[in-house]
Amino acid sequence: MVGNIPNLITLTRILILPFFAGTLIYREYQYALILFITAAITDILDGLIARLTNQITDFGKVLDPVADKFFVTTSFVIMSNIGMIPTWLTIIVISKDLIVVTGCFLIHYVTDNLKIQPSLLGKLSSGLQFLTIGLVILSFNMQKGVHLTKPFFIVVAVVTSLAGIQYVYRGMKMSGTESKN
């Protein structure tokens, strides 16, 4: 059911996104932080409520990661455009997601069977991306902010890349296109 409470909470996260984007663009970082925290809370609540109340739906299984991808992609594009995070990191994050999504469509088209199972590495990658967004916004709200260093961004890039490689491997295995030795 589209209109159950967890799905409505997820839709709320999507509706927050344009306001969050605006706060970044207009450098209203205190509001950006509030909206980011609100979005993070909705991300936790939708899954928790769905599991506790047995309201897990196929729509929700797709909508939640889509909401996350919208949020991460929008955040990284804007934040790299205004110099808050390195552009090369944004390219890696978006490229990984585009490759995975394209692979999913191809597997579905070729096999008419697609079972997406998030991996631990994929969840770690997403978690690090959200942590990056949160820490960067937090640092812009503090006089002596948290200074994220290049090694931190490299770790995020490496974990994101490894998650992408893992998903490609799993997709090839699922579609039967991996080489058999």
- Res 115: pLDDT: 72
Tell me the whole-structure pTM to 2 decimals: 0.88
Residue-wise pLDDT for 52-109, tens only, equals 999 988 888 889 989 999 999 999 999 999 999 999 999 999 999 999 888 888 887 8
Rg of the chain over Cα atoms, rounded to whole angstroms, equals: 17
What distance in Å separates the CA atoms of residue 146 and residue 115, rounded to the nearest whole number?
39
pLDDT at position 1 over 60: no
Report the sign of the C-alpha dihedral through residues 22, 28, 29, 35, in that order.
negative
- Contact by Cβ (8 Å): 77, 90: yes
Res. 143 pLDDT band, cuts 50 70 90: confident
Is residue 53 one of the residues assigned to a domain?
A: yes
What distance in Å separates the CA atoms of residue 84 and residue 150, rounded to the nearest whole number?
12
- In the predicted model, what is the mean pLDDT of the chain? 89
pLDDT at position 162 over 90: yes
Res. 145 pLDDT band, cuts 50 70 90: low
Tokens of 100: 């995975």
Tokens of 16: 């927050």
Cα–Cα distances (Å) from 88 to 9, 79, 109, in that order, read 32, 12, 31
Res. 181 pLDDT band, cuts 50 70 90: very low
What distance in Å separates the CA atoms of residue 55 and residue 4, rounded to the nearest whole number?
7
Tokens of 133: 């967004």
Is residue 32 one of the residues assigned to a domain?
A: yes
Position 71, amino acid: F
Is residue 181 one of the residues assigned to a domain?
A: no
Position 150, amino acid: K
More confident: 174 or 150: 150
DSSP 178: S
- Res 75: pLDDT: 97
The CATH number of whichever domain residue 9 belongs to comes to 1.20.120.1760
More confident: 170 or 70: 70
pLDDT at position 179 over 50: no
Could you give the number of structural domains in the chain?
Answer: 1
Of all residues in the chain, the percent with pLDDT exceeding 70 is: 94
Is residue 180 one of the residues assigned to a domain?
A: no
- Contact by Cβ (8 Å): 13, 72: no
Is residue 43 one of the residues assigned to a domain?
A: yes
pLDDT at position 178 over 60: no
- Res 91: pLDDT: 98
Tokens 């770790």 -> residue: 155
Parent domain of 156? 5-175
Residue-wise pLDDT for 23-62, tens only, equals 999 999 999 999 999 999 999 999 899 999 999 888 888 8
Is residue 78 one of the residues assigned to a domain?
A: yes
Position 175, amino acid: S
